[in-house]
Structure 1
Amino acid sequence: MLYYICINKGLGILEGQMVKDELRALVIEILESKSHVTINELAQKTYTSESTIRRALKEMESAGDLVRTRGGASLVREDSLEKGMHYRYGSHILEKRRIAIAAEKLIEDGQRIMIDSSSTALIFAEQIRRHKYMDILTNGLRTAVELSEIMDHTTNLYCACGHIHTEASGVYGGSTTAYIEQHQADLAFISGRGLDSRIGISDSRDEEADIKKAMMKASDCVVVLIDSSKFEKTNFFASLGFDQIDVLVTDKKLPQDIAEKLEQFDVHLIVADS
């Protein structure tokens, strides 16, 4: 279903059709500025009907993005480990797209690549449609579907097997890591929930960390895609140390302590154009 929208962005008027993911991203952006927003307020700010907003909120609640309240909605707590893919996809989406565009330049036709199930990697996957003769392996369900729709017949797509985690829209577990380790890739594109100078990339679930370690072992070059909202954040499970990262792509200048770690371990840094 497509939605029509007209938004005053301050720099001009953006008009046209908006798909569901983009409406969700806008709703999340509005909710992030306030602890609670009414249906009427969301309808006015998105130039859609209240019935459209109600349907969107119902779907977003089912996906774990928010909690519906009487007459409105609130975001899930910031410390929740189970934010849905729709929320993560919409959060900091402009920064993630800049990172994805910069990272796409690292790919050449005919390469073998791995892509994890993160929202940043999903946005990256949307950028690689022009490439051909690829072998692509992912543990992301939405990433696999997206690639199946945009890549041409010369590309072979593989989705890892294992336990499906619906909120994360990914496949995890021992069978998943074993499947990944049976393959060898030129590049692995990986994200994380935190980046700090002490441990590097970290995640909130051990299964996420295990996937990234498996992709690192099965790839010649590890590319980390991480937006600036993750700087100086640490989660319970360490995923990748700086000595296991070859390239880091981000959207802003790094804090000094993290920049020094990248230099110490000879990690190539790419800061996406604004």
Structure 2
Amino acid sequence: MSSFSHREMELLSALRRAGGSARGTELAKAMNVSEETVRRTIKSLATSGALVRVHGGAYLIGTRNDPSFFRRINKHAEEKRLIAATIARIVTDGMTIFLDVGSTTAFVAEELRHQHAGLTVVTNSIGVAQTLVNTNGNRVHMLGGELQSNERGTFGHVAERQARRFAYDMAVLSSDALSAERGFLYLSAAEAHLATEIAVSAARVLMGIDRHKFSATAPHCGPEPEAVDQIVSDQAPRGRLSAALRNWDIDVTTAQ
């Protein structure tokens, strides 16, 4: 007989449905309980060794899930929250929007949950879908395809084909690096391909990028810079990067 309480069993089940890892806000939404209840339950389960507790969420013991998502989302978290709040003010009620698997985008989803209604949200992110589904009249479409547990999202030709079936008012994307020579760069080829497909289908493409990406590099090119309309960052780019963004006719918004 299991030694876990009903609430603990419910949380473990929600984690499995989420692919083995989830943020506390996602679990609270899935279980229809408060985030404080989720935190207490995670703490209890971590003590018993049933899961690993990390800042902002948890992941199951014995799964192949890489907790790298939690490392990314907690890295420069304040800057990402600032960027997300600014992006949420740009979005308007009733829009059809795409949100990707980026850690900054996870913060955007939380902001949208509290601020906007009637959105049609298309995403390949498990976390984004769980955050926004059944909230304020939003309709959420989760792309199919191959699930990559380290990104907590779906990728591949199935996801790309389904993504092309929507007419986006806005795509909110992220990247791993921003180069004055090559534009928006990604560590994952699959993520770069999907972002490129989405950018072609969107009326407006917005990139949420913190300043630390300005000095980073990555091997895969994403959307053509000319396909991007706006970036929101916690700090304005300078020098050659600033000149390149002007040449590409990309608006720069500094998060306030």
Superposition TM-score, scaled by structure 2 size: 0.75
2:132 to 147, 152, 159: 147
Return the alpha-carbon distance in structure 1 between the equivalents of residues 199 and 231 of structure 2: 13
1:188 is matched by which residue type in structure 2? A
SS of 1:270's partner is strand
State the partner residue of 1:89: 73
Structure with greater helix share of residues: 2
Ranges in structure 2 where 5+ consecutive residues have no aligned partner: 1-6, 8-21, 26-42
Output the CA distance in 1 between the equivalents of 2:71 and 2:24. Answer: 9
Q: In structure 2, what is the Cα distance between the partners aligned to 1:188 and 1:119? A: 15
Q: Aligned partners of 2:53 and 2:248: how far apart in 1?
A: 45
Write the distance in 2 (CA, Å) between the matches of 1:205 and 1:120: 16
Indicate the percent of aligned positions where both proteins have the same amino acid: 21
Q: Which SS does the other structure have where 2:191 is aligned?
A: helix
Specify the SS of the correspondent of 1:110: coil
Residue of structure 2 in register with 1:136 after alignment? 121
For residue 56 of structure 1, report the CA deviation from its aligned partner. 2.3
How far off is 1:236 after superposition? 0.8
- How far apart, CA to CA, are the structure 2 residues paired with 1:185 and 1:241? 17
Structure 2 SS opposite 1:215: helix
Structure 1 unaligned blocks of 5 or more: 2-18, 23-47, 66-83
Mapping 1:184-223, distance limit 5 Å: 184-223=167-206
Q: Distance in 1 between matches of 2:48 and 2:212?
A: 27
Deviations 1:221-268 (A, max 9, x none): 000001111113221100023211101000012131111111112211
Say whether 1:224 aligns with 2:207: yes
Structure 1 runs of 4+ aligned residues shifted over 2 Å read: 19-22, 51-65
**What is the CA–CA distance in structure 1 between the aligned matches of 2:107 and 2:157, rounded to whole Å?**
26
Deviation at 1:60, TM superposition (A): 8.4
Q: Report what 2:85 is aligned to.
A: 101
Provide the C-alpha distance between the structure 2 equivalents of 1:139 and 1:233, rounded to a whole number of angstroms.
24
Aligned to 2:10: none
Contact kept? 2:23, 2:127, Cα under 8 Å: no
Cα distance in 2 for residues equivalent to 1:117 and 1:207: 12
1:125 — aligned with what? 109
CA distance in 2, matches of 1:162, 1:125: 21
After TM superposition, the score normalised by the length of structure 1 is: 0.71
Is 1:113 the counterpart of 2:115 in the alignment? no
Measure, in 1, the Cα distance between the counterparts of 2:60 and 2:81: 22
Compare the two structures and name the one with the higher strand fraction. 1
RMSD over aligned Cα atoms = 2.4
